[in-house]
Amino acid sequence: MEQLPRSKGCFVCGEPSDNPRSLGLDIFWNEEERRTEIPIEPDSTWCGYEGVVHGGIIASVFDDAMAWAVRREHGTWAVTGEMSLRYLRPVQAGRRYVVEGRVERSSGRRVTTAASMRDDRGRRVAEGSALFVLLPGKKIGEEEE
């Protein structure tokens, strides 16, 4: 798997030395499965209720998992137009999880994505989908004229 670069100011994948509020998560691209993978081990600072991770933190990680999948599949950034999540089980501090994101389909500038989160036993604890809109402009690696 390939580790993807950090986005300096990003809340999810930013470098903590540049952005002390960043979660500092590593995001990987699984070329064979065509998906992002983000391993996480939340601590108590991520919690809303005692020991239970805040849903907004989970949503942020899902957003990055899907956004990076779009970037890898389309070679450009996109913005989130709509996102839906279902929380199936409590996500607990001190346990290990993996969030996966993938592109489901594309039509013009609209990209539909999906994500899921599994615990260390392989049980799905959350799932989601989103609609991203590709930003206009050149793709990564295109030469300027």
Q: What is the mean pLDDT of each run of 10 residues along the chain (145 residues)?
A: 90 88 94 97 93 96 98 95 97 97 97 98 98 82 47
Q: What is the pTM of this model?
A: 0.91
Q: Determine the pLDDT at residue 144.
A: 44
In 3D, which of 22, 108, 111 has the Cα closest to residue 67?
A: 111
Class of domain 2-134: alpha beta
Instruction: Kindly state the DSSP code that residue 14 receives in the 8-state scheme.
Output: S
Name the token pair of 96: 């290990």
